[in-house]
Amino acid sequence: MGKDVIIACDFASQEQVLAFLDKFEGKKPFVKIGMELFYGAGPGIVKEIKARGHKIFLDLKLHDIPNTVKKAMSVLSNLDVDMCNLHAAGTIRMMEAAIEGLTRPDGTRPLLIAVTQLTSTDQETMENDLLIHEPIDRVVMHYAHNAKLAGLDGVVCSPLEAQKVHDTCGANFMTVTPGVRFADGDIGDQKRVMTPAQAKLIGSDYIVVGRPITAAEDPVAAYERCVAEFCD
Ligand code: C5P
């Protein structure tokens, strides 16, 4: 499993994301496509970016009954994405069904990672809205463990949780971590951030970086700085 930097391409249109990727010329960074772009531009955007030679993390966070998730995952697998995700709250059975749907006739499949608790959920909202009364840390680790039991490859988590996830689920269970900022950069609306170098030290397998690259004056230089700090 190689460490890599994934660029969160949070753009509203196909034109914007393709113009952004054109700046990279010969380079082919791993990109994350989220709901906004996918629902707006449709599956064609995945095919187009794939045809340009990029790896793709399709961040659609599936959560439904097992049979529906299995069939939807089979469609995503046919789009030839490299990584996709779901909510661990959908249960172990749903996660197992997702793996079945993703697995191609030749036995290959995209990487599958789970969202445990969204970072927008805190202890208070978890207790009041979801009636979950365990400490949030324990819930996150329990969901990560469920994902591992179901055969998933890892979880999306805060860089601050990456070490604990590895301690709970093993060194080979992947941690994909957003909330990354340069030491001299603007943190924006992220609350708990880490630099690429810190994320490397703490054991993240992939970092997901959006605005520090997409909003940079020189996005290619910002991407290369991330790669130098995190991968080299
Ligand atoms: O621009 P920025 O670097 O903050 O983008 C981070 C990306 O990671 C965004 O696409 C955001 O939706 C995603 N993300 C996150 N925190 C999570 C899960 C996903 O920031 N807990």
Nearest Cα residue to atom 14 of ligand 1 = 178
Q: How confident is the model at residue 10 (pLDDT cuts 50, 70, 90)?
A: very high
Q: How far is the CA of 207 from the centre of ligand 1 (A)?
A: 10
Cα separation of 177 and 201, whole Å?
13
Spatial separation of the C-alpha atoms in residues 152 and 193, rounded to whole Å: 26
Q: How confident is the model at residue 73 (pLDDT cuts 50, 70, 90)?
A: very high
Atom of ligand 1 nearest to the CA of 120: 21
Residue 182: strand, helix, or coil: coil
By most ligand atoms within 8 Å of CB, the mutation choice from 10, 195, 230 for ligand 1 is 10
Neighbour tally for 40: CB within 10 Å = 12
pTM for the whole thing?
0.95
List pLDDT tens digits, range 85-112: 999 999 999 999 999 999 999 999 999 9
Flag whether pLDDT at 1 surpasses 70: no
Ligand 1, atom 13: closest residue by C-alpha: 178
Please tell me which residue in 23, 61, 148, 191 is annotated as part of the active site.
Answer: 61
- Nearest-atom index, ligand 1, CA of 158: 21
**What is the pLDDT, as a whole number, of residue 214?**
97
Angle at 89 between CA 54 and CA 191, to 5 degrees: 65
Buried b (16+ CB within 10 A) or exposed e, 139-155: bbbebbbbbbebebbbb
Would you say residue 80 has pLDDT above 90?
Answer: yes
Does the annotation mark 61 as catalytic?
Answer: yes
Handedness of CA 122, 204, 39, 66 (dihedral sign): negative
pLDDT band, very low/low/confident/very high, at 65 (cuts 50, 70, 90): very high
Residues with CB under 6 A from ligand 1: 8, 10, 34, 118-119, 156, 178-179, 190, 208-212
User: What's the number of domains the chain is made of?
Assistant: 1
pLDDT category of residue 43 using cuts at 50, 70 and 90: very high
Which residues span the domain enclosing 164?
A: 4-230
- Distance between Cα 180 and ligand 1 center (Å): 9
Which residue do the tokens 């991330």 mark? 226
pLDDT of residue 105: 95
| pLDDT tens, residue by residue, 158-216 | 888 899 999 999 999 999 999 999 999 888 877 778 999 999 998 999 999 999 999 99
Q: To test ligand 1's pocket by mutation, which of 31, 208, 213 has the most ligand atoms within 8 angstroms of CB? A: 208
How far does CA 76 lie from the centroid of its chain? 15
Can you list the positions of beta strands (E) in the chain?
4-8, 30-34, 56-62, 83-87, 111-115, 154-156, 174-177, 206-209
Distance between Cα 204 and ligand 1 center (Å)? 15
What is the domain-level CATH number for residue 174?
3.20.20.70
DSSP-derived 3-state class of residue 222: helix
- pLDDT (tens digit per residue) in 111-159: 999 999 988 888 999 999 999 999 999 999 999 999 999 999 999 998 8
**How far is ligand 1, taken at its centre, from the CA of residue 10, in Å?**
9
Q: Which residues pair with 58 in a beta bridge?
A: 33, 84
